[in-house]
Amino acid sequence: MRSQAWKLAYWLALYGFGLAVSARMNWGGLLGLPSRVLGFLLIGLAFALSASAGRHLRLYGKSRPGGFGQIDRLVTVGIYSCVRHPNHLGLAVLSVGLALALDSLSHLIVATPVQVLGVVAFVYLVEEPEVRRKFGREYEEYASRVRGLVPDVPCLFENLIPRSEPRG
């Protein structure tokens, strides 16, 4: 539980930084309404990525019902066949979407790169080592086939929604 608390604090600080930058710095807008529309579309995509990842983990990641985050099977199907870290990809997309939805040049130039680098750092310094320890060789084989944060885009859009029911 302590591990989950520091991870939550990390994400709140990272995204709080972006909102603080947008509030404090006003370098002008981007494209007005088109920027906001694109931003909200990206935010929707970010939530769809996260929701799909959560559904796939719930359907395929547990051998028995359990608490939040208690995955005991490596999920390599559906959205996880397109990108290893769809939740984190969603967070990176969310960063860009927020900057555009806020129509904030300062957020796009200052906060978004910091947030995206924060996502990448978290994935490769925290998430990857944890998953490699937990699943070992099975994860190594999976990682050799599927990229970490750069998705196979056609595959991603085909697999946003799980198609089958959980295994019994």
12 in any annotated domain: no
25 in any annotated domain: no
DSSP string, 111-145: IHHHHHHHHHHHIIIIIHHHHHHHHHHHHHHHHHH
**How many domains does one find in the chain?**
1
Look up residue 52 and give its DSSP letter: H
Q: pLDDT tens digit string along 88-102?
A: 999 999 999 988 998
Q: Count of alpha carbons within 13 Å of 76, Cβ hemisphere only?
A: 14
Enter the pTM of the model.
0.82
| Range in 2-6, 42-46, 112-116, 138-142 the model is least confident about | 2-6
> What's the rounded Cα separation, in Å, for the pair 151 and 86?
8
- 113 is in which domain, residue-wise? 32-158
Q: pLDDT tens digit string along 139-168?
A: 999 999 999 999 999 999 898 875 655 554
11 in any annotated domain: no
Q: Give the CATH number for residue 132.
A: 1.20.120.1630
9 in any annotated domain: no
166 in any annotated domain: no
